[in-house]
Amino acid sequence: MSPLTAARVQMEVSLGFHMIFAAIGVAMPLLMLIAEWRWIRYHDDDARRLAHVWAKLTAVTFAIGAVSGTALSFELGLLWPRFMAFAGPLIGPAFALEGYAFFIEAIFLGLYLYGWERLAPRTHWWCGVAVAVSGAVSAIMVLAVNAWMQHPVGFTLSPTGAPVDVDAWAVFANPAWAPMAAHSTLSCYQAVGFAAAANYAWTLWRRPAGGRYASLGLTIAMAVATIAAIAMPITGDLLAKRAHHHQPAKLAAAEAHFETQRRAPLTIGGWPDVERRETRFAIQIPGALSFLADSDLDTEVIGLDRIPRDQWPNVPVAHIAFQIMVGAGTTMLAVALGYWLLRWRSRGREAPLPRWLLIALALCGPLGFLALEAGWVVTEVGRQPWVIYGVMRTADAATRVGGVWASLAMFTTVYGGLLVLLVFFLRQLRRAEAA
């Protein structure tokens, strides 16, 4: 295995693993805040119990995420030294602020966990607000770095290829940052909301008289998940339009769009045949891709025929990941709207939810995280072969040192151990919750 391949696999494993905990750290505090507020406002003991359970889950995933995040910081320097040498002065402020947000989150999480009987209820709740805000800010600062890699700003290139006239704060003025941060943050709320809802839907399916506790957990989780699911297509549309103007190769790869044309069709499903430059077994909606790209059916959408062959992303991977992301998101939105429609139709009655709906909600549990991971694949694979878009290729950024496979094996073992630890704690929480 070459050092480049080993470095890429290690980052894929590390980031794919860490993103799950980062998402839970962003979204779970919001759920616990809603539950605690209901307890404060209505003296609802079930809401207080929910807040306790969700706070414990937040603490567990925060601790595991801290370990995996620390490993990632080492990997950046070990595996991608040329990237860090070039980009360090430009992305350093964003990483520094992310570190401050992380420390604030750790401090207030401690106050929240140990302050239930020691702080006034509203003071305790505000500690939770600090946890939720700092967790989201931490993720948004990391997105500033990724947005800069997609749309590098704040420097000029010298004749030797080194960055000069560096503006370290330009990373925060990057036009790609806001839509990327919004879409990514919403995906966290959607994924965690549906995962929590699936847990309580499964409880109610197994025990139809499962009680008000599970019903309340389902309602709070679905409220957060539904708002995020409705907003996701809006931010996704903004990102698609941005890709059309600034990263046409990414949009072309995601849509398996091989030929530049007006009234370009939107491709649903199918398998891209790169050699023949066609997508087999696909359904195509005429003009829809042109409308998606620039709100005009006559918009010309650049195809891969206009992109140098050595700058093509991996088309099958980008296209399949994009289809998974959109398919999972559409399914979750449909189920969420169905859930609230049935709730609205049964208002004022204590009728239990239909069992088919509970099954659908339970099956949607992993879809949010599947969409989250698939979206990350589209973002990163669609940028290839560049690590800094249009500036530095991934192959030029990687370490040349041999033996990276050993680092890959070690870190994969660490992540495997952390996964076992997570499953153990989740089982313990599940048993405590059912007691």
User: Residue-wise pLDDT tens for the chain (435 aa)?
Assistant: 687 888 888 888 888 888 988 899 999 999 999 999 999 999 999 999 999 999 999 998 888 888 888 888 888 888 898 999 999 889 989 999 999 999 999 999 999 999 998 999 999 999 999 999 999 999 999 999 999 999 999 999 888 888 888 888 899 999 999 999 999 999 999 999 999 999 999 988 887 665 788 899 999 999 999 999 999 999 999 999 999 999 999 999 999 999 999 999 999 999 998 988 888 888 999 999 999 999 888 899 999 999 999 999 999 999 999 999 999 999 999 999 999 999 888 775 666 788 899 999 999 999 999 999 999 999 999 999 999 999 999 999 988 877 777 878 887 888 888 888 888 887 777 776 665
Secondary structure class of 297 (helix, strand, coil)? coil
Closest CA to 252 of 177, 327, 179, 318: 318
CA 151 → CA 8, 46, 81, 245, 247, distances in Å?
21, 47, 20, 11, 9
Provide, for the chain, the percentages of residues in helix, strand and coil under a 3-state DSSP scheme, each rounded to the nearest 5: 75, 5, 20
Calpha distance 3→400 (Å, rounded): 6
Could you give phi then psi for residue 164, rounded to 5 degrees? -130, 170
User: CA torsion sign, 36 to 337 to 211 to 192?
Assistant: negative
Q: What is the pTM of this model?
A: 0.93
Q: Report yes or no: 42 and 48 within 8 Å, Cβ to Cβ.
A: no
Amino acid at 334: A
Q: Which residue has the tokens 């000029």?
A: 156
**Separation CA 48–CA 364 (nearest Å):** 26
Map tokens 């004749």 to a residue. Answer: 159
